[in-house]
């Protein structure tokens, strides 16, 4: 008689090690870790786009309104940058 193996019945040895060693650092829960990672990704996208929120949202694959809400929730503020024709000239600083 053929023996059937149901999904999830046998433990993959490679995954068993991951389960044992991947507990969050003490004092950190999943929500905190996810928020920290999301914050890093948003700051990285904003840095890559020189603070341009619509471009950053596009890079992250989310809508600008979603980015705005996430930034608000995570306490991320982007200062407005000067975009006039005098940008970068000596003496403006």
Domain 29-74: which topology? Arc Repressor Mutant, subunit A (1.10.10)
pLDDT tens-place string over residues 6-44: 555 555 555 555 555 566 667 779 999 999 999 999 999
Q: What is the pLDDT of residue 54?
A: 96
Q: How far is CA 3 from CA 7, 12, 55, 61, in A?
A: 13, 18, 55, 45
User: What is the full DSSP assignment across 47-73?
Assistant: HHTTT-HHHHHHHHTS-HHHHHHHHHH
- Tokens 């940008």 locate to 87
Q: What is the pLDDT of residue 21?
A: 58
- Tokens 């004092």 locate to 27
pLDDT tens-place string over residues 40-84: 999 999 999 999 999 999 999 999 999 999 999 999 998 776 555
CB 53 within 8 A of CB 46: yes
């Amino acid at each position: 008689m053929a023996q059937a193996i149901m999904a999830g019945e046998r433990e993959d040895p490679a995954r068993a090690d991951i389960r044992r060693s991947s507990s969050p650092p003490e004092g950190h829960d999943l929500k905190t870790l996810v928020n920290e990672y999301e914050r890093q990704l948003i700051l990285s996208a904003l840095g890559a786009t020189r603070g341009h929120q619509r471009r950053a949202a596009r890079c992250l694959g989310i809508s600008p309104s979603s980015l705005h809400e996430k930034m608000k929730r995570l306490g991320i503020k982007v200062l407005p940058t000067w975009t006039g024709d005098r940008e970068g000239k000596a003496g403006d600083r």
